[in-house]
Amino acid sequence: MYGEPDIIKTYFSCGQPLRKDIKTGIGDDCAIVEAPRQRHLAITTDTLIEGTHFVKGAPPKWVAYRALAASVSDLAAMGATPIWCSLAITLPRVDKSWIQEFSLSFFDLAKKYNIQLIGGDTTKGPLSITITAQGSVAPGKAILRSGAQVGDWIYVTGFLGDSQAGLEVVLDDRKRSRPFASHLEVRHYVSTPRISTGQSLSLSGLASSAIDISDGLVTDLQHVLSASCVGARLNLEDLPISGELLQYLYKDKKSAYRYALTSGEEYELCFTVPDSNKVSLTRILAQTGTKLSCIGQVQSPPQLSLYLDGDKTNWNLSGYDHFSN
Ligand code: ADP
Ligand code: MG
């Protein structure tokens, strides 16, 4: 019978060029790796469950992409460089074409970020994927959530809001007739983890704090603010909204701001930068080619205030919370 060892052998343990720091890869009881010299390790784990973190029947290539991108994005948020990962996958049945599509997409993205699969576990049950990833960072150079200071500027990479619009399209067929619906559907699954931006911020030491946006800008920025014991002001008109999202929302800017504030699974970076580093930041990050927007400033009152065209709004917003939804 075609079982766990066959799945591992056929789909997960071949086709990867071996990194030199891997002494024993997939196939033994443990992977054996050489710890990077004079670097610290950054380690992160994330689980995706079908029906909770992605819709039932989502294309396997996108499930794989999302799962690995989420872990790589966590490494990016610390300024780390991806190295290895492991994959614990629970499958309801052996569907060879599903696993094939999943693994091809997984290895495609892994190659792009030079992160190597070194082990995992394959079990039977309701579909879920857990990835643990390791990265390396120069000692003392990891960017923490707790370093934001009053007066620092708040930046985000890329565009915000597309993922939430894409999720709507996935969940509601009536939304498919809206402009750019299929583009946004892809954007829901396919993000760009900001490894090179994270690395530049870590190396240059220009950022005082950073986080990646997995649960929505408001929710994730709140994590930074509470870890740093500060508050912030966000200027809604400075939020980066894509042309596609604006068209999808029939040019309703206020709606677009709401999407940008709460959209999860964006995997963009949100980070803070002292005023004295602002000019260097623009110069250094121009080299990564990543879109950058300054969306607000850290303040001492401990709450997060939203401003629109200079006036304080009373918008009530909450991001995606795994336990309240
Ligand atoms: P054990 O029972 O000793 O934990 P397994 O039979 O579960 O070993 O796994 C055999 C080998 O295959 C191990 O090296 C393990 O890390 C690897 N492995 C299992 N599942 C996966 C997977 N989905 N992806 C990558 N490697 C895997
Ligand atoms: Mg096992």
How confident is residue 120, by pLDDT bands cut at 50, 70 and 90?
very high
Query: How much distance in Å is there from the Cα of 122 to the middle of ligand 1?
Result: 7
Query: Kindly report the CA angle at 94 between 128 and 50, in degrees rounded to 5?
Result: 20
pLDDT of 325 higher than 90: no
**Which residue's alpha carbon is at the smallest distance from atom 16 of ligand 1?**
119
pLDDT of 74 higher than 70: yes
Distance separating alpha carbons of residues 98 and 84, to the nearest angstrom: 24
Q: Are 171 and 51 in contact (CB under 8 A)?
A: no
pLDDT of 16 higher than 80: no
Average pLDDT over residues 157-183: 97
Provide the pLDDT for residue 1: 76
What would the pLDDT profile of 239-265 be if each residue is shown by its tens digit? Answer: 999 999 999 999 999 999 999 999 999
pLDDT of 311 higher than 90: yes
Q: Which residues pair with 98 in a beta bridge?
A: none
Q: Ligand 1 pocket test: which of 4, 8, 9 has the largest number of ligand atoms within 8 Å of its C-beta?
A: 8
Provide the pLDDT for residue 288: 87
pLDDT of 283 higher than 90: yes
Average pLDDT over residues 20-39: 94
Provide the pLDDT for residue 17: 66
User: Which atom, in ligand 1's list, is nearest to the CA of 5?
Assistant: 6
Q: What does pLDDT average to over the chain?
A: 95
Average pLDDT over residues 96-101: 97
How confident is residue 295, by pLDDT bands cut at 50, 70 and 90?
very high
Q: Which residues pair with 148 in a beta bridge?
A: none
Provide the pLDDT for residue 101: 98
CA atoms within 13 A of residue 20's CA, in its CB half-sphere: 1
Provide the pLDDT for residue 320: 46
Provide the pLDDT for residue 257: 97
Q: Are 69 and 112 in contact (CB under 8 A)?
A: no
Q: Ligand 1 pocket test: which of 9, 13, 26, 86 has the largest number of ligand atoms within 8 Å of its C-beta?
A: 26
Angle between helices 60-78 and 195-204 (to 10 degrees): 10
**Which residue's alpha carbon is at the smallest distance from atom 11 of ligand 1?**
27
Query: How much distance in Å is there from the Cα of 33 to the middle of ligand 1?
Result: 16
What is the number of residues in the chain? 325
Q: Are 220 and 214 in contact (CB under 8 A)?
A: yes
Average pLDDT over residues 73-96: 98
Range with the poorest average pLDDT among 36-45, 194-203, 292-301, 316-325: 316-325
| Cβ atoms < 10 Å from Cβ of 203 | 13
With a pLDDT cut of 90, the percent of the chain lying above it is 91
**Which residue's alpha carbon is at the smallest distance from atom 8 of ligand 1?**
29
- For residue 121, give the ligand nearest its CA: 1
Pocket around ligand 1 at a 6 A CB cut-off: 8, 12, 26-29, 87, 89, 117, 119-122
Radius of gyration of the chain (CA): 20
Average pLDDT over residues 183-205: 97
Average pLDDT over residues 25-30: 94
- For residue 12, give the ligand nearest its CA: 1
**Which residue's alpha carbon is at the smallest distance from atom 2 of ligand 1?**
29
How confident is residue 321, by pLDDT bands cut at 50, 70 and 90?
very low
How confident is residue 234, by pLDDT bands cut at 50, 70 and 90?
very high
Structure token pair of residue 112: 């792009």
